[in-house]
Amino acid sequence: MKIIIANGTHEADFIVKKFKKEKHQITIINSDKNFGDYMSSSNHIPVLCGDPTKAYVLEDADVWDADVFIALSINDIDNYVACITAKKLFNIKRVVSVVRNPKRVDLFKTLGIDSVICSTYLLGESIKNESILEDFIKTISIENEKIVITEILIDKEYLLSNKLIKNAEIPSYLNISCIYREPDVIIANGDTLILPDDKLVIATTPDNHQNAVDFIQRKELNNGA
């Protein structure tokens, strides 16, 4: 993949080292000449010194048709402009922006940034998942929240408990991807038996997420099943 990394300091260095191991083609644009020199010498890749919010700098860096453009500066607005310029003028397939202000995560997505990453936002989501829901349900969203992955602990009173998946009348809007039964991970199929204290990992769409959770947590008999 052709990956462009615009600005950033230590996180840029970390990402470059990771991607380089995976043999991706990396281009670095950094407006800080000293850090650019360090990146160049420590990673043995060319660094273009310049402001990635300027179209002529992106042109000099030959970013055309790159697969991913990642903007890592500490200024949210600069990251937005760099990403929009890359996407609209240079046909970059996917643009990723880091933001400091968590209120801008959804806003930037609405304005056309494919992925927006905010450490404060992620921290908030982690705390919410870890503490408030007390390990019963953990949820993450991927592909810009089009897919919801949920982990649900099976209580012995649930209808699904002690049932084979093929007999559980699983609705079409949810998929049981795997089961965590300490210490093993079981890839679920029709013959898998669901046991109390299993952690089911299910995939749904956001619209059906609540229905899926309700289905897994049913306790009373339904339609004589």
- The residue ranges that bind other proteins (CB under 8 A) are 53-56, 76-78, 80-81, 84-85, 88-89, 103, 107, 110-111
Sign of the Cα torsion 192, 198, 201, 202 reads positive
Cβ proximity to other proteins, 53 vs 150, nearer residue: 53
Cβ proximity to other proteins, 55 vs 123, nearer residue: 55
- Closest approach, Cβ 149 to other proteins, in A, equals 30
> Are 81 and 95 a contacting pair, CB within 8 Å?
no
- Closest approach, Cβ 85 to other proteins, in A, equals 6
- Closest approach, Cβ 110 to other proteins, in A, equals 7
Q: Which amino acid would we find at residue 14?
A: F
Sort 76 into a burial class: Cβ within 10 Å, 0-12 / 13-18 / 19+. Answer: buried
From residue 86, how far is each of 46, 179, 205 by CA, in Å? 19, 41, 30
- Closest approach, Cβ 77 to other proteins, in A, equals 5
- Closest approach, Cβ 20 to other proteins, in A, equals 30
Cβ proximity to other proteins, 69 vs 215, nearer residue: 69
The token duo for 120 is 């404060």
Cβ proximity to other proteins, 108 vs 215, nearer residue: 108
Cβ proximity to other proteins, 21 vs 56, nearer residue: 56
Cβ proximity to other proteins, 74 vs 133, nearer residue: 74
Task: Count how many Cα atoms sit within 13 Å of the Cα of residue 172 in the half-sphere of its side chain.
Answer: 0
- Closest approach, Cβ 60 to other proteins, in A, equals 13
The Cα–Cα gap between 100 and 130 comes to 22
The Cα–Cα gap between 59 and 55 comes to 6
**Tokens 């996917």 label which residue?**
94
The Cα–Cα gap between 15 and 79 comes to 17
